[in-house]
Amino acid sequence: MADSMPDVVRRKPDWMAKLEREFTIGKEDLAGIAKDMLAKMEVGLARENTEMKMLASFVRKRPTGHEVGTVYALDFGGTNFRVCQLDLTDDASGYRFHAVKFKIPEELKLAPGEKLFDFFADSVNSFLNQQGITLTAPGAVPDLREQLKKAKLGFTFSFPIQQLALDKGILLQWNKGFNNPGVVGSDVVELLHHAFDRKGIPFRVTALVNDTVGTLLANGYKNPNTTVGAIIGTGTNAAYWESVDRIRKWTGDKSGDMVVNTEWGAFTPQARLLTTYDKRLDDESINPGMQVFEKMISGRYIGEIVRLILVDLHSRGHILTNVPRLPAKLTTPYEFDTEYLSRLAVEQVQTSSPYPIVQQVMAEVGVQVLEDDRRKILEIAELVALRSARISVAGVAALILQQKLTQGTTVAVDGSVYELYPRYKQHMEATLVELLGTVTGPAVTLELGKDGSGIGAAVIAALG
Ligand code: BGC
């Protein structure tokens, strides 16, 4: 009977109303997040070892769009390692980009650092082999080794790095489920070069780059009006152009601008904004108390939040009452991938629907979902994803305000959540208007910075 009841008279269960209240962050609270973040950014610009790390990138040159030549980039994000080649041309197309993706095996995420770097070196070898280049074979051309040795090579390492120079930087902490011993505190460029030496690869890194910095520069190459680069993927973070005299901890030349990597994922919002599920996820994670903002936003975590909610509601007899034992994908931490959320949300919450896609996706997860529960699952996924989009905008707003812009600007965003979660961009846009206003504030345009981390690292390497 319940299923044929028109929606208007279908009463929302109390537990759903409570969930909605907990996951809905209103305009005032978003403005509060932006304000707190701005204050913490100021502290991070003044000192080391702060919550918002505000890391100097050593990138001070803006691309003109007229750079030419072949440059390479290695892109280590979290899910994949990509080997990229970028041919910069002076024609209208700007560049040709070619990349080969190597999925990082799950077991490498906790393996000794050497193993991870060996995997990178092996991937570079496979890439070169695919291009018909064999470096180790008898008779391999020595000239070619010399050529590669001199090539410009960007290395995107998407974790917090304290840069000591453009081509040198120390890993401060692991995130996104990685915890390889022997890397924190070391120069990741040196570790990569050691792996290259073990595997006979002549390449040498000329620029070490965070993915947000890469995204900002790659977009700036096409659109000089870009002032922020953000990633909302496995992890989340943003970088922006700052005037060097405001980076108080910077002891070098104070003239001009420099890109600052904010590491906003480490921002901790006020505790009252966290739900019991956020707290549980954090407590049970490998880095409790760290990356709290990231844990509310990014792809590594939002599927897990939904999983925790579903398991809890099931144990309290509110949903999936037809399923006596939940399948492994719902009982095992991190098995309910954020990709499922993106697939569920292809369907929109409607007044009346049998929700065939929800049924199909959840069948893959291992449960037969009754019609009434399908809508609830979709609503829960939407609540978590919408909160993610909204609070990431609070971060964007903080960066826009920090820059004291007087005219409109472009924010380049890349990452699987932003790109693949249906309507994520629209949710962000609506929240931007809500937060910054259309009349008083500068117009902010969001642009997909596709492949920005790889392209940007190559552009930065080209700039030298
Ligand atoms: C890392 C950042 C990175 C972001 C997006 C975070 O976990 O700390 O350095 O930019 O993920 O990949």
The residues that are catalytic are: 82, 158, 211
Position 442 scores a pLDDT of 60
Q: CB of 175 closer than 6 A to ligand 1? A: yes
* Domain span holding position 156: 69-212+454-463
How does the average pLDDT of the chain come out, rounded? 93
Tell me the per-residue pLDDT of 75-129, one tens digit each, with 9 for 90 and over. 999 889 999 999 988 776 778 899 999 999 999 999 999 999 999 999 999 999 9
Q: Is residue 155 part of a domain?
A: yes
Q: Which atom of ligand 1 is nearest to the CA of 176?
A: 7
10 token code pair: 């279908």
Position 340 scores a pLDDT of 96
Tell me the per-residue pLDDT of 438-463, one tens digit each, with 9 for 90 and over. 555 568 999 999 999 999 999 999 99
Confidence class of residue 353 from pLDDT cuts 50, 70 and 90?
Answer: confident
CATH number for 194: 3.30.420.40
Position 1 scores a pLDDT of 38
Q: Is residue 121 part of a domain?
A: yes
Q: Is residue 386 part of a domain?
A: no
Q: For a pocket test of ligand 1, which of 55, 156, 158 has the largest count of ligand atoms closer than 8 A to its C-beta?
A: 158
Q: Which residue has the higher pLDDT, 9 or 47?
A: 47
Q: CB of 389 closer than 6 A to ligand 1? A: no
Position 8 scores a pLDDT of 47
Confidence class of residue 137 from pLDDT cuts 50, 70 and 90?
Answer: low
Residue nearest to atom 2 of ligand 1 (CA): 159
Q: Is residue 221 part of a domain?
A: no
Confidence class of residue 134 from pLDDT cuts 50, 70 and 90?
Answer: confident
Position 2 scores a pLDDT of 44
Residue nearest to atom 6 of ligand 1 (CA): 235
Position 10 scores a pLDDT of 63
Q: Which residue has the higher pLDDT, 133 or 222?
A: 222
In the chain, the percentage of residues whose pLDDT exceeds 70 is: 95
Q: CA-based Rg of the chain, rounded to a whole angstrom?
A: 23
How far apart, in whole angstroms, are the C-alpha atoms of residue 75 and residue 156? 5
Tell me the per-residue pLDDT of 387-446, one tens digit each, with 9 for 90 and over. 999 999 999 999 999 999 888 899 999 999 999 999 999 999 999 999 987 555 568 999
Confidence class of residue 11 from pLDDT cuts 50, 70 and 90?
Answer: confident
Distance 77 CA to ligand 1 centre (A): 8
Position 131 scores a pLDDT of 85
- Residues 6 or more apart whose CB falls under 8 angstroms from that of 200 comprise 135, 136
Tell me the per-residue pLDDT of 244-266, one tens digit each, with 9 for 90 and over. 999 999 999 999 999 999 999 99
**Number of domains within the chain:** 1
Q: What mean pLDDT is predicted for residues 325-346?
A: 96
Q: Is residue 97 part of a domain?
A: yes
154 beta partners? 73, 207
Q: Is residue 323 part of a domain?
A: no
Q: Is residue 314 part of a domain?
A: no
Position 3 scores a pLDDT of 47
Distance 291 CA to ligand 1 centre (A): 10
Distance 395 CA to ligand 1 centre (A): 14
DSSP string spanning 208-247?
A: EE-HHHHHHHHHHHH-TTEEEEEEESSSEEEEEEEEGGG-
Q: The sheet that has 409-414: what strands, in order across it?
A: 55-56, 257-261, 236-243, 226-232, 409-414, 444-448
- Residues 6 or more apart whose CB falls under 8 angstroms from that of 403 comprise 227, 240, 241, 242, 409
Residue nearest to atom 8 of ligand 1 (CA): 159
Q: Is residue 372 part of a domain?
A: no
Tell me the per-residue pLDDT of 156-178, one tens digit each, with 9 for 90 and over. 999 999 999 999 999 999 999 99
